[in-house]
Structure 1
């Protein structure tokens, strides 16, 4: 009898924790079912004939209590925040603290990328690159990496959104279900893409079978690596990504330097290790988390997930399409080089864009800090601002946005200075690669660098809008930007010279920034509305 009473008290507390003050017996019944309690176990565990009787007992018990004590976890969290008003005098200190915390964090989480750059400089080899490849091999490998990024990009975006929703509500089983389901969906998307590529190649005989096979293997491994790495951003364990990549690079380098293993196989083995390490840690981490139990019949509905996230999916895909479109235009413009194939890797162009993208990487810290700061002060200021002062609320956060843009531009200027020294100084590019940088590469680097700054600005605008679930503007903007990138880049690369495809990327990025900036201005004018509509 004692155990039965304890079980009833325990389940009652869980109901309070989950739903707070129930509005009906049916709500309590649904909650009990969501805990996985079966009708046939009710009598033995709780002393009631049916689950319905247990629900009636719990409902009656809760309705006899003080309503102030019937707050679910979300309500308790909001109440705690409401009481924790932050004085205006502390704003500057908090901004400084957030900058010190999140800016280096954004840079640190790019450690896997910097590790690959260091590896290619020192050893001429990285986890997915090798300076000993000929032009056809380089095309196959880079094409595979790009396909992996593009195809997985949409799934990664949705995974981050939907898994984060359940994670922050401590519904860890649902979060795990979403992660596993989207990884499987991403794999299906990759396989479908490979079948499409193989079918087109078979019909038109564009490339040798070995080329397509190598491309698809790299695309699959890179895409899968991105899919299994994405959840670490949600669960705030991003250090695992760096650890997995470090271990994978070490193993791949060992196989390359100390064995006669084929270069492709060393890459595949290394990436495979990173995938396995990431997936094993994910399983271990989720299995240790204890949150609300989710019954099988309460799985996240597929149609609901699609409806809520399809705009994020297309945005995540099109961002990568935009980033790599100019490369394909440049690779296919030189008819003398590509007369046998549709496109082939263009070394000078690629080197220029690879150096320019350093600006994009260094601005990652600003994005990390800006969104963390906006989210923090959005909540603080709405608690410290009266409704009649909503215009003050909107303007104060818009001023914060302008400060973030200033930091973005300042960081870009510092990075540009570093890139200039890298190109011109004896210790720079020439010292590490044994050759001077071609003028075409320098031209592409300059224009591409400006383009990446504008693209990052547009992405920052999009992240602001995503924070309060307003994805329509960013999606519309990136669609237009992709079309402009394609048209301008195609015309210039065919009428002037192949390297002018970068101008399409530059113009498209500028348009993307302007269109999202327009959305941001409208957004901040009605920020109070968007804030309350999002919750």
Structure 2
């Protein structure tokens, strides 16, 4: 064999191996392939272009590459009967479900730590019990704006970044994640400029209040972006530790160094967000060193990426708008002293903050139940023949109803435990400090009503994740828009006719509408599950 023949054979062998790897990636991403055109669509979604296909494999375009992959897959097609789950896999499944539960709870851990810090220390990383009403109003507005504006970017990062990480493309995951982070910062700065100009023209708040709004808005945006990166990298405990360290730093700067609470918090938020971003970059680099799986294609066009994440971006914006619109309605009610258009009501906010503890346990169980549900869909659909689609759909509809019953039960129990825990803590606090932790009928009123609202909201959040898993986000966005209108409309009317605290009934009404309509949407999809599984694949 001549040297030329050896080189040609080596090149052919290398190309064949690359094609095998690409075929493995295609079959891993979609187990139900119809034809070469579906493969071409998958290749384009993975970032393959005509130029890249030619440089890598010497084929004319993506369609020619798809034809090669299709032929290779057809050569190794084999019928594999359904095999029951081995007993040895049961323990592995239990561990995976336990991880899912902890992952769901850990995601809510920073929120609960902030609430507990307010109960014990009277401050957290971005709140303080003894703020003046001017400062409390500024920080509350900055916090709400940060959630609403950054919500879309966090959903885009979670959706697209995790999509590449799941396939082992860590470099692409890092690129797309920091692409959205960069645009998140750009949008944040643009929002600050817009708010400044709006306030300058209409003079809604004095200049010193606007400065605090802008500072907390900007730095909290950075923290929420860091939280999302840690979440997709499965480093929630790291960020929880950063939150605890940040609260500890506020305590040190305020108590030992003697800085005022504003400077202490801003410095701690700046440090936590900066360290969070640095750690995110480090973790990505660390994962990349393990090696990418298969052939790492280029990122798809920006237009395609934007189109793909737009429904999830919309969900992030709409969800936080729904969660905070009742506060804006309550704080804009002109029944008492109102020097500005929006005026912070601490007693209303306190009840809602305490009620958030209700969601911790249901979030953990939701993660477990939904992972199990999707795993069942993947495994048990193999038990059914093609003509048994109605039977399969009805089977999974029954499973969904069981999950619905479990999550409702867990949420109700969580609400009862939370209320009794807060009442017990309130009494113990009185015995130790000589005053009550929770005072005033408004706080109690909003606490009880919002606890009911969050119990019902947990159902809607579970439905949203199911619809996301089946690649049907537009359904949940339609439902959310209706829920926001109900939240705002009912809350506005009741807060003006009765009392500002009755705006919480807007949250309750919106949660009911959100959960009822999303349940109906999920049911409609499951009765046609065979079609939607094919579409999602």
TM-score range for the pair, normalised by the shorter chain length = 0.7 to 0.9
Give the equivalent residue in structure 2 for 1:443.
Answer: 445
Give the equivalent residue in structure 1 for 2:387.
Answer: 388
Report the CA distance between 1:388 and its aligned residue.
2.2
Deviates more, 1:310-319 or 1:385-394: 385-394
| Equivalent residue for 1:284, pick from 277, 282, 302 | 282
Q: Does 2:526 match 1:533? A: no
Distance 1:432 1:162, change over 3 A: farther
- Deviation by residue 1:407-432 (Cα, 9 ceiling, x = unmatched): 22222222222233234335456468
Q: Does 2:490 match 1:463? A: no
SS at match of 2:337: helix
| Equivalent residue for 1:16, pick from 20, 42, 45 | 20
Give the equivalent residue in structure 1 for 2:323.
Answer: 323
Q: Does 2:343 match 1:344? A: yes
Q: Distance in 2 between matches of 1:137 and 1:362?
A: 33
Give the equivalent residue in structure 2 for 1:420.
Answer: 419
- Which blocks of at least 5 consecutive residues in structure 2 are unaligned? 27-35
Distance 1:88 1:53, change over 3 A: closer
Deviates more, 1:85-94 or 1:417-426: 85-94
Q: Distance in 1 between matches of 2:449 and 2:215?
A: 33
Distance 1:51 1:455, change over 3 A: closer
Q: Distance in 1 between matches of 2:13 and 2:274?
A: 43
TM-score (norm 2): 0.84
Distance 1:374 1:343, change over 3 A: same
Q: Distance in 2 between matches of 1:287 and 1:262?
A: 38
- Which blocks of at least 5 consecutive residues in structure 1 are unaligned? 40-49
Give the equivalent residue in structure 1 for 2:520.
Answer: 518
| Equivalent residue for 2:125, pick from 124, 127, 141 | 127
Q: Pairwise mapping of residues 115-514 of structure 1 onto structure 2 (< 5 A)?
A: 115-288=113-286, 289=288, 290-291=291-292, 294=296, 298-338=298-338, 340-425=339-424, 427=427, 430=430, 434-435=435-436, 436-514=438-516
Report the CA distance between 1:260 and its aligned residue.
2.0
- Deviation by residue 1:439-474 (Cα, 9 ceiling, x = unmatched): 221111111111112222112111111101111211
Q: Distance in 1 between matches of 2:431 and 2:143?
A: 28
Q: Distance in 2 between matches of 1:51 and 1:334?
A: 67
Q: Distance in 1 between matches of 2:248 and 2:148?
A: 26
Distance 1:133 1:7, change over 3 A: farther
Equivalent pairs counted in the alignment come to 507
- Deviation by residue 1:308-362 (Cα, 9 ceiling, x = unmatched): 2212111111111111111111111144321x20111111111111122211233
SS at match of 2:468: helix
Report the CA distance between 1:217 and its aligned residue.
1.2
SS at match of 1:100: helix
Say which structure, 1 or 2, has more relative contact order (CA 8 Å, 6+ apart): 2
Deviates more, 1:378-387 or 1:10-19: 10-19
Q: Distance in 2 between matches of 1:21 and 1:307?
A: 23
Distance 1:393 1:424, change over 3 A: same
TM-score (norm 1): 0.85
Contact (CA 8 Å) 2:329, 2:495: kept in 1 or not? yes
Report the CA distance between 1:9 and its aligned residue.
4.3
